[in-house]
Amino acid sequence: MNSEAGKYARFEYERRFLVTDDGGWRSLVEPYSKHFEDKYLRDSRLRLRVSTDSDGDRRIIKLTKKYESESPYFQSITSIILTPGEYRTFAALDGFRIAKRRHYHNHRGRIFSIDVFEDELSGLILCETEAASLDELMAVEFPGYAKIEVTEDGFFSGGNLCRTTAAELKRKLSAF
């Protein structure tokens, strides 16, 4: 594991699957969701995120760095909460944007996030979950609507998706 992350980072263990829109997931999600507006800052591993809750006006602004990892299943991650003024400073930097709505499904006592992407990535739906360890993560049983695991496919990482055009996404999804 990457020792560069240091004492302020935590390890994120995560798996990701493609979801088919006809998989019946919409009837299973919680009544609330979050909207994410992400900006991946050019020439860095930094992501600026504005998260807005659907059941209120709660907004959280974070700056996150995800460190490189030898495994697609885990990486070190560091986040800090920003003020609106700090957000404006980082938002002025060059970068690539992604917008998505995150829904939540409690399946067998585990929370699964279902991300419905917008704009250029409209039509892409991903399901992911996190775990406390790699062993726990690999033992997770995903819901039936999570059809194809793409954890090991770098195309579906946020750092790549933010640069992906609608045509590139369509081409990639047609391979499944």
Q: What CATH number did the domain enclosing 76 receive?
A: 2.40.320.10
How confident is the prediction for the chain on average, in pLDDT? Answer: 94
**Structural domain count, the chain:** 1
- What residues make up the domain containing 132? 3-174
Q: Are 118 and 133 a contacting pair, CB within 8 Å?
A: no
Question: In the beta sheet, which residues pair with residue 102?
Answer: 34, 115
Q: Are 98 and 116 spatial neighbours (Cβ–Cβ below 8 Å)?
A: no
pTM over 0.85: yes
> What is the model's pLDDT at position 2?
47
